[in-house]
């Protein structure tokens, strides 16, 4: 009755109950052929790193993007054997160059994960125009840039899996994040439009909306504020990057074509609707 892909997705979620099994995908079948090339922005740390690792373990060729931390990028490449490329996702020309490089070096681009994101949290009273624009450029305009420069290749292949990482805060709002919430909510609408344009060409576009996950970004929230937020999460803890990555791997599969324009919320019950 259910597709194999959906059953595997459910099995992976069930694995979460046993946290010692967080790397259970290792036991999973190879899902992707290595001619499936995935590009993950912000891929060397946090959720992005989890996504890179799971896609690689599932058989795809993976390339990660990063913005500034060279040391971390080198460490990531050493540990994972995944190439890390530095570029600015908010700069259209740099996005164009990097996708051309991927196609020249690896043959194509099949899976695009728009994960790169920043925060510049402060109340609207104190927020500067620069803080507003920086977050909109890096978190939202980047999704346009990367999708636009990958589109023709995906059309040519009649295959594309675009997965955009939003946030619970784009769904529910968050005090001190007017810029971030606007960008993350914008991603959800944009993804639905891309899904409509891509559907007939086997290009899917979906959003994954994580809640508070154990990453450097969340660790930067003042501890007293974070404790209060965690106390409102029904599951009672932060998420793990792997718990987000599994949904991305599911959406990236070839046999997930019928899942498009959706938003998968993974937030420990923090926001339900």
Is 180 one of the catalytic residues?
Answer: yes
Name the residue with the smallest CB distance to ligand CAA.
176
Whose Cβ is closer to ligand CAA: residue 108's or residue 174's?
Answer: 174
Contacts of 119 by beta carbon, 8 Å cutoff, 6+ apart:
135, 177, 180, 217, 220
Whose Cβ is closer to ligand CAA: residue 133's or residue 257's?
Answer: 133
Could you tell me the smallest distance in angstroms from the CB atom of residue 210 to ligand CAA? 6
* Sheet with 61-66, side-by-side order of all strands: 83-86, 61-66, 37-40, 111-114, 160-165, 203-210, 263-266
In the block, which residue shows the tokens 């058989």? Answer: 59
Closest CA to 259 of 151, 113, 161: 161
**Residues contributing to the site for ligand CAA (CB under 6 A):** 119, 121-123, 126, 167-169, 174-177, 180, 212, 217-218, 221-222, 225
Catalytic residue among 180, 201, 212, 273: 180
Could you tell me the smallest distance in angstroms from the CB atom of residue 6 to ligand CAA? 26
Torsion sign (Cα): 41, 152, 258, 35: negative
Could you tell me the smallest distance in angstroms from the CB atom of residue 234 to ligand CAA? 16
Could you tell me the smallest distance in angstroms from the CB atom of residue 161 to ligand CAA? 22
CA distances from 83 to 31, 223, 224 (A): 21, 34, 38
Whose Cβ is closer to ligand CAA: residue 186's or residue 198's?
Answer: 186
Torsion sign (Cα): 150, 152, 154, 160: positive
Whose Cβ is closer to ligand CAA: residue 198's or residue 211's?
Answer: 211
Which residues are designated catalytic?
Answer: 180
């Amino acid at each position: 009755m259910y597709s194999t892909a959906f059953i595997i997705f459910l099995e992976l979620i069930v694995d979460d109950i046993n946290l010692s099994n967080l790397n259970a995908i290792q036991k999973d079948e190879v899902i992707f052929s290595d001619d499936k090339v995935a590009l993950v922005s912000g891929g060397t740390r946090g959720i992005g790193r989890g996504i890179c690792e799971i896609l690689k373990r599932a058989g795809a060729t993976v390339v990660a993007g990063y913005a500034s931390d060279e040391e971390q990028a080198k460490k990531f490449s050493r540990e994972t054997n995944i190439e890390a490329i530095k570029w600015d996702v908010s700069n259209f020309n740099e996005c164009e160059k990097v996708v051309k490089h991927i196609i020249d070096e690896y043959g194509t681009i099949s899976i695009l994960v728009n994960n790169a994101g920043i925060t510049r949290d402060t109340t609207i009273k104190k927020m500067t125009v620069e803080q507003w624009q920086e977050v909109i450029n890096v978190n939202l305009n980047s999704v346009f840039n990367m999708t636009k420069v990958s589109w023709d290749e995906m059309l040519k292949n009649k295959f594309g899996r675009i997965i955009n990482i939003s946030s619970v805060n784009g769904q529910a709002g968050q005090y001190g994040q007017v810029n971030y919430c606007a960008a993350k909510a914008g991603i959800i609408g944009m993804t639905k439009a891309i899904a409509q344009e891509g559907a007939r060409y086997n290009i899917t576009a979906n959003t994954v909306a994580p809640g508070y996950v154990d990453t450097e970004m969340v660790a930067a929230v003042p501890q007293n504020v974070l404790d209060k937020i965690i106390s409102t999460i029904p599951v009672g803890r932060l998420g793990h990057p792997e718990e987000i990555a599994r949904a991305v791997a599911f959406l990236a599969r070839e046999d997930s074509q019928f899942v498009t324009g959706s938003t998968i919320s993974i937030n420990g019950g923090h926001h339900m609707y």
